[in-house]
């Protein structure tokens, strides 16, 4: 891998290596920071001998362009366009703006829908995308939600009436695959917030581990094994604080006074695992 200064005009952005829309606030913030002289990590590019294919760093490239820059620092490897696409599936799994759950699912389903990856195991998908085997398996065995289309014979009046109505929300599943009660929907929708924190922890861990492994002077006094253990403990605490399932004792509907869920109506993974099988909902 070679670090090079690449002209923005030479970078190809149209190689099916961008799997989510640009976040405008992030681009504006990056652009402002760049103008103030802040240094950003190099973007990631694959050079196939003719074209420079960007696979990680779309927000940084756009921010640099808007700030009037003509070049950007990039880590460049020599390989094929297909390799750039493959690498792009794991972009932002360890750094940058955290991927949302829906964005990760879109990437996985895109890969699973391609004959290029026929026969891949859950482990192979997990290592490429940067997700757990459990998550890959859940996506594999869950049907994607269908987008409802308007009927061709609907009159403008009928269409307007429907548009004015409050759209019916899709059922939301708990992490056990069961439908969450509507009054608990808001808390289960916040699961990605905790996942984002865990994602940030993983990024911090990787940065520190790479620093120690690369003998970076900045990390001279970091006791990496002790640090790993502490980060692992924090990661575990965060994982087990996430909403996992509807309380098996009160069913979430009569939670007042329920000692199992403390009146919340939902429980963590630890409490759920300790719940007798016949009580699990």
The model's pTM: 0.51
pLDDT at residue 222 greater than cutoff 60: yes
The closest alpha carbon to 204, from 186, 180, 230, belongs to 230
Other beta carbons within 10 angstroms of residue 179's beta carbon come to: 12
pLDDT at residue 81 greater than cutoff 60: yes
Model pLDDT, residue 26 = 86
pLDDT at residue 17 greater than cutoff 90: yes
Query: Are the C-beta atoms of residues 92 and 83 closer than 8 Å to each other?
Result: no
Q: Is 264 helix (H, G, I), strand (E, B) or coil?
A: coil
Between 254 and 52, where is the model more confident? 52
How far is C-alpha 255 from the chain's CA centre? 32
Query: Are the C-beta atoms of residues 72 and 5 closer than 8 Å to each other?
Result: yes
How far are the Cα atoms of 96, 181, 182, 247, 261 from residue 254, in angstroms, in the given order? 42, 12, 14, 10, 11
Q: Would you mind telling me the total number of residues written for the chain in this entry?
A: 281
Q: What pLDDT digit, counting tens, does each position of 84-114 carry?
A: 999 999 887 766 666 665 788 889 998 998 8
Place of tokens 């750094």: 95
21-35, 57-71, 141-155: least confidently modelled range: 141-155
Query: Are the C-beta atoms of residues 88 and 12 closer than 8 Å to each other?
Result: no
Structural element, H or E, at residue 160: helix 156-164
Please name every residue paired with 3 in a beta bridge, in sequence order, or none if there are none: 75
The closest alpha carbon to 242, from 181, 183, 197, belongs to 197
The closest alpha carbon to 96, from 39, 66, 56, belongs to 56
Structural element, H or E, at residue 278: none
The closest alpha carbon to 53, from 99, 10, 92, 5, belongs to 10
The closest alpha carbon to 93, from 14, 17, 175, 202, belongs to 202
Q: What is the mean pLDDT of residues 217-222?
A: 94
Band of pLDDT at residue 220, cut at 50, 70 and 90: very high
Q: What pLDDT digit, counting tens, does each position of 158-199 carry?
A: 555 555 554 556 777 888 888 888 888 888 888 888 888 888
Strand 43-47 versus strand 71-78 pairing type = parallel
Q: What is the mean pLDDT of residues 20-27?
A: 87
Query: Are the C-beta atoms of residues 279 and 252 closer than 8 Å to each other?
Result: no
């Amino acid at each position: 891998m070679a670090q090079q200064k690449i002209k923005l005009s030479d970078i190809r952005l149209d190689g099916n290596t961008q799997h989510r829309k640009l976040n405008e606030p992030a681009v504006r913030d990056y652009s402002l920071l760049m103008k103030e002289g802040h240094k950003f990590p190099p973007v990631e590019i694959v050079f196939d001998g003719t074209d420079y294919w960007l696979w990680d760093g779309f927000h940084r490239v756009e921010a640099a362009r808007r700030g009037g820059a003509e070049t950007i620092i990039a880590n460049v490897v020599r390989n094929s366009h297909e390799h750039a696409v493959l690498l792009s599936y794991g972009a932002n799994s360890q750094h940058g703006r955290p991927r949302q759950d829906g964005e990760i699912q879109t990437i996985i389903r895109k890969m699973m829908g391609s004959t290029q990856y026929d026969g891949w195991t859950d482990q192979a998908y997990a290592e490429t995308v940067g997700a757990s085997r459990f998550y890959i398996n859940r996506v594999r065995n869950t049907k994607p939600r269908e987008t409802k289309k308007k009927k061709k014979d609907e009159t403008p009046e009928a269409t307007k009436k429907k548009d004015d109505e409050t759209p019916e929300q899709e059922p939301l599943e708990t992490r056990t695959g069961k439908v969450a009660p509507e009054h608990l929907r808001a808390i289960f929708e916040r699961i990605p917030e905790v996942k984002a924190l865990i994602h940030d922890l993983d990024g911090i861990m990787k940065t520190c581990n790479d620093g120690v492994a690369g003998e970076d002077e900045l990390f001279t006094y970091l006791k990496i094994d002790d640090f790993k253990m502490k980060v692992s403990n924090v990661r575990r605490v965060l994982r087990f604080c996430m909403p996992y399932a509807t309380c098996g004792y009160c069913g979430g509907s009569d939670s007042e006074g329920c000692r199992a869920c403390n009146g919340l109506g939902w429980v963590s993974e630890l409490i759920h695992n300790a719940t007798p099988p016949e009580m699990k909902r």
